[in-house]
């Protein structure tokens, strides 16, 4: 199913270490997305990534997935602009989330509270990523890039590659190593 209108637009400004220093997001037609647009079939999809969206929209999707008795892997991502609301989402729904993807600043803001998710991946940009699972903390360094044009979308690529590797039987650390 499609909805007509302009797609979401995210504008980010980075410092010399490729860290975000300014963010502006306009959801446009994406603000009207609802979980009923997800084509669930028995055993498909095996994983769903709830990408950056307002936490209320993500909660609506989590509740819909529970009502559909969805048993696949649920992963979720956020943006620092949503951290305050996202904190409540995690406290109420964290046990349903199989993988939480956050960047360093989001992790620091959320880590003041217990993160109830089974696995947390902390995206550290050029420094790689850290996996927190079952009380174990493992870091995977990023390869050195000769030139960076933009890091926009890099976290989504990491999340997609991680989930694909997990679905192909890799352990969490193997999946993270494949996705960096």
Tens digits of per-residue pLDDT, 102-144? 999 899 988 877 778 889 999 998 899 999 999 899 999 998 8
Can you name the residues that pair with 23 across neighbouring β-strands? 12
CA distances from 179 to 8, 28, 39, 131, 158 (A): 25, 30, 26, 12, 5
pLDDT value for 33:
66
pLDDT digits (tens, 9 = 90+) for 46-71: 899 998 888 988 999 999 888 888 88
Q: How far is it, in rounded angstroms, from Cα 79 to Cα 105?
A: 9
Quick one: how far is CA 123 from the chain centroid?
Answer: 10
What is the pLDDT at residue 18?
Answer: 65
Nearest alpha-carbon partner for 107 in 83, 134, 135: 83
What confidence tier does 82 reach under pLDDT thresholds 50, 70, 90? confident
Pairing of strands 73-77, 47-50: parallel
Could you report the per-residue pLDDT of 141-151, keeping only the tens digit for each?
Answer: 998 888 877 77
pLDDT in tens, 153-170: 788 899 999 999 999 999
The answer to whether the pTM exceeds 0.75 is yes
Interatomic CA distance for residues 39 and 130, integer angstroms: 32
């Amino acid at each position: 199913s499609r909805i007509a209108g302009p797609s979401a637009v995210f504008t980010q400004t980075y410092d010399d270490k490729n860290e975000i220093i300014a963010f502006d997001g306009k959801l446009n037609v994406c603000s009207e997305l609802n979980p009923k647009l997800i084509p669930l079939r028995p055993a498909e999809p095996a994983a769903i990534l709830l990408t950056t969206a307002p936490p209320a929209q993500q909660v609506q999707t989590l509740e819909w997935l529970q009502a559909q008795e969805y048993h696949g892997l649920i992963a979720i991502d956020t943006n620092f602009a949503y951290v305050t609301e996202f904190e409540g989402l995690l406290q109420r729904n964290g046990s349903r989330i199989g993988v939480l993807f956050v960047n360093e600043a989001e992790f620091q803001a959320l880590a003041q509270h217990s993160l109830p998710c089974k696995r947390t991946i902390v995206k550290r940009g050029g420094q790689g990523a850290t996996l927190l699972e079952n009380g174990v903390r493992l870091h995977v360094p990023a390869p050195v890039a000769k030139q960076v044009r933009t890091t926009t979308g890099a976290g989504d690529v990491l999340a997609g590659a991680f989930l694909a590797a997990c679905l192909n039987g890799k352990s969490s650390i193997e999946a993270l190593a494949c996705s960096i």
